[in-house]
Amino acid sequence: MLNKIKEAAQYIQDQTQGTPDIGLVLGSGLGVFADQIESPKAIRYEDIPYFPVSTVAGHVGQFIHGELYGKKVLAMQGRFHFYEGYSMQEVVFPIRVMQVLGVERLILTNAAGGVNSSFSAGDLMIITDHYNNMGTNPLIGPNDDTVGDRFPDMSAVYDPTFIKIAKAAANELGVQVKEGVYAANTGPMYETPAEVKGLRILGVDAVGMSTVPEATVARHAGMRVLGISCITNMAAGMLDTPLSHDEVITTAAKVQEQFISLLGRIIETIE
């Protein structure tokens, strides 16, 4: 696997120049942020050796490399999910590639369902911690000590300094943000009302089907991580309406301006 990761990283390196200062993973309906990147170089996943291919609506399926606020950025327009049939190792393959490319700061974004009753569709939530409800994780199996520790500490997956930067950026822009715990389920079905009630009892504020594997591997790799969820719908049982992926994409589109402004200011501020 490590040889495949290095070969994929070499392909990207051959298409770009310099070490990325920041890596980005843009979730469902949020890939539009990549349009802000200057001097963009698009690299389609299907052209990268050993790379999976995005199969979900709202995930373009390419890297965008370029500059933003004087920083080199490498953005994923679309990610891979466990429910697509990929293994956990395939889901986190791009994060391992970013590690080889020298990425030390990673911003993860996603579309999520609101579990906290004070949330509303369209809210942005800074992730303070996560709850892995997927029944597995990408660190299971042999460990390469040159990549990360066998038993990595997960007491601060989401960097406290980055959280402060994100909150300050939101305050400067007048963007209302929430903070909370994100839970990841396998999907692809949405949660039942009973499952959502259980997550609320556990202290979860938002739920989705991604991010936790990537954040876990990023911390294993020693990266500093920031996570932002776009609350695109209220979770099952919160409102008397059925859930759909169309609603996710529609709500993400409505908050694009706020999301772009906030993420841009965060990138500008991060050292």
How far apart, in whole angstroms, are the C-alpha atoms of residue 100 and residue 25? 16
- Catalytic site includes residue 112: no
Which residue type sits at 246?
A: D
Q: Which one of 110, 116, 210, 229 is the catalytic residue?
A: 210
The CATH code of the domain that includes 39 is 3.40.50.1580
| Residue 83 annotated to the active site | yes
Using CA atoms, how far apart are residues 169 and 264, in angstroms rounded to an integer? 9
Helices (H) and strands (E) in the chain, counts: 8, 9
Which one from 84, 191, 195, 214 is the annotated catalytic residue? 84
pLDDT tens digits in sequence order for the chain, 271 residues long: 899 999 999 999 999 989 999 999 998 778 889 999 999 999 999 999 999 987 776 557 899 999 999 999 999 998 999 999 999 999 999 999 999 999 999 999 999 999 999 999 999 999 999 999 999 999 999 999 999 999 999 999 999 999 999 999 999 999 999 999 999 999 999 999 999 999 999 999 999 999 999 999 999 999 999 999 999 888 876 766 777 777 777 887 788 889 999 999 999 999 8
Q: Distance between CA atoms of 124 and 197, rounded to whole angstroms?
A: 21
What the block records as the tokens of 126 is: 């800074």
What pTM, to 2 d.p., does this model score? 0.94
- Cα 138 to the chain's mean position, in Å? 15
Parent domain of 140 = 2-269
220 is annotated as an active-site residue: no
169, 170, 209, 223: which one is catalytic?
209
Q: Which residues contact 240 (CB under 8 A, 6 or more apart)?
A: none
The number of folded domains in the chain is: 1
Interatomic CA distance for residues 204 and 182, integer angstroms: 6
